[in-house]
Every structure is written in C-alpha cells, then in structure tokens.
Amino acid sequence: MHDHSTYEDGLKYRPDYVWPDEGSTRDCPKCSEEMELIENLENYYGKPWWCSECQWQFSEEEFEGNPIQKDADD
Ligand SMILES: [Zn+2]
C-alpha cells in the first residue's frame, strides 16, 4: 500500500476573496455592463465577479469604497 502523503492539489492556493451576497449586482468598471456573480464553490479559484464583455474577473477588494448596488425595486 502506498501512503499518499503528497496532496495533489497542494500547490493550488485558493485566495481568500471577500464574496458578495447572492443576488448582489455590480456594473463592470470598464464597460459598465452588469457583471456575473460567480458561485462560491470550493474548487473555484477565481474572483467573484466576471464580466463576459471584457472576459475579465474582478474581486470585491478592487471595489473598495464602492458599495454593492442593491436593486430594491427589481
Ligand atoms: Zn466589462
């Protein structure tokens, strides 16, 4: 029996991004289109916000001082 002492995913580092609440919305700072909020999955290593227009990810940390938009009358 082999002892699997090496963790195969050990080199992967999951950044500790601040994750917005589900239903939060943000507009892309580049193109002003509404971005997609990615689901916070354990095997997802990217940033929470995805702009399909720019093909670019953004994290909450990049929006400091710019609070999440809540669409109250949606
Ligand atoms: Zn964009």
pLDDT one-digit tens code per residue, 22-49: 999 999 999 999 999 999 998 999 999 9
- According to DSSP, residue 67 is labeled P
User: Number of structural domains, the chain?
Assistant: 1
The reply to whether 66 falls in a domain is yes
CA of 15 from ligand 1 middle (Å) equals 22
CA separation for the pair 70, 68 (Å, rounded): 6
Tokens for 30, please give them.
């580049």
The reply to whether 69 falls in a domain is yes
The reply to whether 1 falls in a domain is no
pTM for the whole thing?
0.72
* Residue percentage of the chain with pLDDT more than 70: 76
The reply to whether 32 falls in a domain is yes
Residue 30, amino acid: K
Print the domain residue range for 42. Answer: 23-74
Surrounding ion ligand 1 within 5 Å at CB are 28, 30-31, 51, 53-54
The reply to whether 67 falls in a domain is yes
Does residue 65 or residue 32 have the better pLDDT? Answer: 32
The reply to whether 60 falls in a domain is yes
